[in-house]
Amino acid sequence: MVDMQIIFLGTSAAIPTWERGLSSIAIRRGNELLLFDTGEGMQRNYVRAGLRMNNKTKIFITHMHSDHCVGVLGLLQTMSLQGRQTAIDIYGHPRLAEFLQENIRIINFRLEFDVNIHVIYEEGIVVREKEYEVSCCEAHHSIPAYSYYIRELERPGIFNIDEAKRLGIPPGPLYNKLQHGEDITYNGNIIKSYQIAGPPQPGRKIGISGDTRPTDKLIDFFKDCDLLIFESTYEDEKYTKAIESFHSTATDAAIVAKKSHVKKLILTHFSARYKKVSNMIKEASAIYNNVEAAEDLKIVTIPYRSIYE
């Protein structure tokens, strides 16, 4: 089993405030770090959060607005100055590659590790690892943008080692086959996987909207998330402005969460005009009953799902 935590490194919209930095979300899964957006100056909260500089790291950029991508330059330089040697993978729009290459050339800072840039040309699976995958979906914003989710793959069912011993099955490859759903023949007897191992255990799913208006496509994309992190730039009174600027209100976010049947909604990306976001929580809670507001350096632990849910 692998621990998973969400750490908010920046929760403001286009303008930073005294309390909130620009957009950045870290998902710490075991010893790996997945960063979603890197707003300007986010490396300060990266350091304050105690995140290690040499972790295996992937960075996913939702779109090429400065409050979501400019901070990647400072982060890379900070990592290099702190002695990072592990390669880093960065995923995003085709303009991201140009942005990184040109700025590194112009600023002329030296990196002591490789930066692998992965250009995303279409929706679908962006990363597939042994235990999880990251997928993207087209968002509805003023420029090309993606929303993402990370979804863990199913884990093998709980193995009943006492029953395996009772049947005389020796440890080793036969245990592995049974735990992964494969029936075996041992001493002339057919032993069914379900006799020894429980059903596969579901993984966790975390959705991250980036900047977007709600769409039916996103509702389907975020279906059954354990946690949905959705931008909530405005209160309802600014609904017209939200439409004009291709952003969402807290009510918009709650509607997506309800229709997507997610377990929990966290609002983020608040306009700097709001000193407090309690009214946004109130507006969203009128539609969806499990809502929180993100704050810089807030940590949320994501438990495993139950197979009975």
Q: What Å distances lie between residue 149 and 12, 217, 226, 282, CA to CA?
A: 21, 13, 11, 26
Closest CA to 43 of 29, 32, 57: 57
d(CA 202, CA 279): 35
Active-site residue, 67 included: yes
Which H or E run includes 278? Answer: helix 278-285
d(CA 53, CA 76): 10
Q: Taking the CB of residue 270, how many other CB atoms lie within 10 A of it?
A: 26
d(CA 269, CA 229): 10
Three-state SS at 183: coil
Closest CA to 71 of 151, 158, 12: 12
Active-site pick, 3, 37, 67, 216? 67
d(CA 52, CA 32): 10
d(CA 297, CA 245): 27
Active site residues: 67
